[in-house]
Amino acid sequence: MFVSNLDVLHPHLSISREYDMAAENIESLQGALDLPILKVVALAALKVAGILALGWGASTAVGPAARAEQGADAAAALVNDIPVVLPPYVVSATRIERNPWRYASLPGFEVLSRASAADTSWWLDALQRGRWLENEVMPTDWLPEPPVPYTVIIDDTNLKTVRSGQLHSQPIEFRSPVDAMTWGRLSEKATVWTARFGAHDDDTFASNINVYDVNPRIPAYGSISLERVFRCTPPLPRWLIAGLLGNHCGIFRESFMPIIARDGSFSRIGIDINSGGLIRKAMGPGTLWVSLDETQRLLLQIKKDKKAKIQTRIAIPPLGGLFSEAPPADESLPLWESEAGLFVRWGLMGPGRNDPVMSVAFLELVRRARREPVTERMFADCFGFGYAAMEGRLESFLKAVLAQPNSIDLDFPSSFSEADLKAATADQIGRILGDWLRMEGGSLRQKDPGLSEELLYSAGRMLLRAYKNDNGLPPDVDTSHTDERPARPPRNAARGPVVAMEPFVVTAAHIHDPGLLAVYGLYEHDIGNSAKAREFLEKAVEAGVVRPRACIVLAGLRYAEAVGQPAGSAGKISARQAALILEPLRAALRSSASSDIYSLIVATWAHCEAKPTEDDADKMVEGVARFPRNTLLAYRSALVCAQSGYAAKAAELIDRGLLFATDESKKDFVGRLRSALAAPVIPDTKQPNAVK
């Protein structure tokens, strides 16, 4: 799960369910995430909500094996003159999709589209252009590649052709930006589209977009990949995230507009990219200070003072408050975020970028701030001067850039990877749409339980359609995928006993795509069906699926079973049980790192009768190094190491935990743990063998 400290409003969401022949549709899906994610052209979508038309044509044919099995039962019943009660289903003409789903894979993306090739390419170019821009502006280690490709779902539904009450998806609607004054000379030309995403796991992100009626010849800038800044280990500091993505003042908060250049001069925005021009500049919203009203007041004051030949003074808050580990109070958040946006713009797109010495100093400060709290001494080590001198520089910089757009001079590539769209398989459609619905539902579990339940239900239906299609089963059959068997109907004396067919049961044995297995398992886990989740996830992980979340959930299920039925002595889990838990966690670490993985590793050893090996202890130290602000992880890791005889490692972990301890209770806990470490350790000669 991504964690954001930014205050982002979540719009009310609504949904309706409708069945149309063999296809299902979902109405008006709109997600919410505490993270601005997407931008488009002058268009923009830094915070995008995806609305998706679901459903695809499915064959009504029954597979040979199913037909043979049903035929044998029916034949036997006829011989004995026994009526057969078949599962009820509607025989109907399967709807032929005018725009069937197509699939493509690009570096970093999986694409499911039923838009035209031109519209699909337009959006994919926007995403790749945005990714390229971010990679050029920010250091590589701020933008780690996700372990699972992003899924991009593209639709082009025309609302005018959709019946009332039927599924419809929200088209892009452009408007002038709220903070138009910060766009400078572009303020009258810039139009933006902003909405929000909510479909995400801690290892992937799914977006969907309706591109109906867009002009694919106008260059666009879009991005869902800025969420990569939340995947850094050690994590980026709070002030840097706010400076990049702050809802009101972050430099990437809204959009960057590609500007076409011809013959060395820049033309107006909105020009056809295919008419011979090249993109050599991108411009975005400028610096806002506290609010639109305060920004306007400062602009008028600067103009007035300039006319009177008076130097305008703007109080820059002390940098010590910006770098504090304690989150800002609600009333001071707008000013804190404004300072964060100003400092990050100075470092990435202002004097800090243009001056090689300052650029190195800024990046070094960020590097150290990821591992330890920022102090004025650390700041001076990086820059060669203290807070007061930087506050003066920021004041001068603010006067120069207040309400002035960000401008980046870069020669953009003339083309990006193209999507080779082919007819999507049932597995691909079910996995991508089902996973998107599942994650969307999970993101709303607390805020809107009713909608969350609807989304999860729809995810199950979507996955079930993929399963049936893949196995040649009728799409409209009543398929309650439960292991419960109904009571046998009473015998009809005149006709003999009635034979009731067993309810439809989905089984992992009939799914061969590891990715679909993983999504099905995660779905079953999300709806609380642990037994079924384990069945799917065991097979997915065994097949080598690259889905860290699936590995973590499987490890959690194994952990819960082991703790509930410990096989070791004194109520502890055995070495064998611990090994089964750690196996998928080690697989997850090969492609991803999350605090959940390390927390479960520590919990496993805390409940195990076996002693961790030194390599296992090093893994716990590694977890704390990757997540230094997770003081609870540091304390628990130190305790396990101390109890296992790794006193030096425990002492190291205590010192690391103290770095970010922000209250006296935590410091007291660490102090008592340190005292316990000072006591002599009595070797346990009966200690079981360590887990291999």
Cα 532 from Cα 511, distance rounded (Å): 13
Query: What is the torsion angle, in degrees rounded to the nearest 10, for the CA atoms of residue 341, residue 347, residue 353 and residue 354?
Result: 90
Query: What is the pLDDT, as a whole number, of residue 272?
Result: 45
**26 pLDDT tier (thresholds 50, 70, 90):** very low
Question: Pick the residue with more confidence: 678 or 519?
Answer: 519
Tokens describing residue 429: 């459609």
Longest CA span, the chain:
108
Ramachandran assignment for 227, one of left (phi > 0), alpha (psi -120 to 50 degrees), beta (any other): alpha
Q: What are phi and psi of 307, to 5 degrees?
A: -65, -35
Query: What is the pLDDT, as a whole number, of residue 665?
Result: 63
Cα 562 from Cα 581, distance rounded (Å): 9
Please determine, for residue 678, whether its predicted confidence score (pLDDT) is greater than 60.
yes
Q: What are phi and psi of 431, to 5 degrees?
A: -65, -50
Among 185-194, 372-381, 416-425, top mean pLDDT goes to 372-381
Identity of the amino acid at 513: D
Alpha carbon distances (Å) from 208 to 22, 49, 652: 23, 8, 46
Cα 345 from Cα 349, distance rounded (Å): 5
Ramachandran assignment for 173, one of left (phi > 0), alpha (psi -120 to 50 degrees), beta (any other): beta
Cα 641 from Cα 105, distance rounded (Å): 45
Q: Any idea which residue has 């520089």 for tokens? A: 393
What size, in residues, is the chain? 692
Question: Pick the residue with more confidence: 397 or 17?
Answer: 397
Please determine, for residue 202, whether its predicted confidence score (pLDDT) is greater than 90.
no
Please determine, for residue 294, whether its predicted confidence score (pLDDT) is greater than 60.
yes
Tokens describing residue 527: 């709806």
User: In sequence order, what are the residues at sequence separation of 6 or more whose Cβ sits closer than 8 angstroms to the Cβ of residue 478?
Assistant: 87, 88, 89, 504
Q: Can you point out the beta strands (E) in 249-378?
A: 257-262, 265-266, 278-284
Please determine, for residue 441, whether its predicted confidence score (pLDDT) is greater than 60.
yes
Query: What is the pLDDT, as a whole number, of residue 676?
Result: 65
Tens digits of residue pLDDT in 50-80: 222 232 322 223 333 333 344 444 444 333 4
Average pLDDT over all residues of the chain: 77
Query: What is the pLDDT, as a whole number, of residue 47?
Result: 33
Cα 64 from Cα 575, distance rounded (Å): 46
**Helix (H) and strand (E) counts for the chain?**
21, 13
Question: Pick the residue with more confidence: 685 or 480?
Answer: 480
Q: Any idea which residue has 């439960």 for tokens? A: 482
Cα 609 from Cα 153, distance rounded (Å): 48
By C-alpha distance, which of 216, 184, 291, 295 is closest to 246? 291
Query: What is the pLDDT, as a whole number, of residue 45?
Result: 28
Cα 46 from Cα 78, distance rounded (Å): 64
- Judge whether 516 and 536 are in contact, CB under 8 Å: no
Query: What is the pLDDT, as a whole number, of residue 543?
Result: 95
- Judge whether 45 and 222 are in contact, CB under 8 Å: yes
Please determine, for residue 500, whether its predicted confidence score (pLDDT) is greater than 60.
no
Cα 627 from Cα 230, distance rounded (Å): 12
**470 pLDDT tier (thresholds 50, 70, 90):** confident
Question: Pick the residue with more confidence: 511 or 14?
Answer: 511
- Whether the ω angle into residue 234 lies within 30 degrees of 0, i.e. cis, is yes
Among 58-67, 567-576, 682-691, top mean pLDDT goes to 567-576
Cα 330 from Cα 116, distance rounded (Å): 46
Please determine, for residue 94, whether its predicted confidence score (pLDDT) is greater than 80.
no
**549 pLDDT tier (thresholds 50, 70, 90):** very high
The mean per-residue pLDDT over the stretch 479-496 comes to 40
Question: Pick the residue with more confidence: 227 or 476?
Answer: 227
Query: What is the pLDDT, as a whole number, of residue 66?
Result: 38
Cα 677 from Cα 225, distance rounded (Å): 45
Cα 59 from Cα 184, distance rounded (Å): 56
**293 pLDDT tier (thresholds 50, 70, 90):** very high
Query: What is the pLDDT, as a whole number, of residue 666?
Result: 66
Query: What is the pLDDT, as a whole number, of residue 97?
Result: 52
Query: What is the pLDDT, as a whole number, of residue 659?
Result: 86
Query: What is the pLDDT, as a whole number, of residue 8?
Result: 24
Query: What is the pLDDT, as a whole number, of residue 190?
Result: 76
Question: Pick the residue with more confidence: 7 or 531?
Answer: 531
- Judge whether 154 and 111 are in contact, CB under 8 Å: yes
Residue 509: DSSP 8-state = G
The mean per-residue pLDDT over the stretch 383-390 comes to 97
Query: What is the pLDDT, as a whole number, of residue 648?
Result: 92
Please determine, for residue 491, whether its predicted confidence score (pLDDT) is greater than 50.
no
- Give CATH 1.25.40.10 domain extents, the chain: 547-692
Please determine, for residue 112, whether its predicted confidence score (pLDDT) is greater than 50.
yes
The mean per-residue pLDDT over the stretch 262-283 comes to 57
Identity of the amino acid at 77: A
Q: Look up the CATH superfamily of 547-692.
A: Tetratricopeptide repeat domain (1.25.40.10)
Tokens describing residue 342: 């100003």
Cα 150 from Cα 372, distance rounded (Å): 31
Please determine, for residue 532, whether its predicted confidence score (pLDDT) is greater than 70.
yes
Please determine, for residue 484, whether its predicted confidence score (pLDDT) is greater than 80.
no
- Judge whether 585 and 601 are in contact, CB under 8 Å: yes
The mean per-residue pLDDT over the stretch 597-619 comes to 97
β 499-500/84-85 pair status: parallel
The mean per-residue pLDDT over the stretch 348-376 comes to 95
DSSP string, 535-591: HHHHHHHHTT---HHHHHHHHHHHHHHHHHS--SGGGPBPHHHHHHHHHHHHHHHTT
The mean per-residue pLDDT over the stretch 231-258 comes to 90
Please determine, for residue 537, whether its predicted confidence score (pLDDT) is greater than 70.
yes
Tens digits of residue pLDDT in 623-674: 999 999 998 899 999 999 999 999 999 999 988 888 887 766 666 766 677 7
Please determine, for residue 553, whether its predicted confidence score (pLDDT) is greater than 90.
yes
Cα 681 from Cα 293, distance rounded (Å): 64
User: Which segments of 84-160 does DSSP mark as H helices, in order?
Assistant: 117-137
Query: What is the pLDDT, as a whole number, of residue 144?
Result: 92
The mean per-residue pLDDT over the stretch 269-288 comes to 68
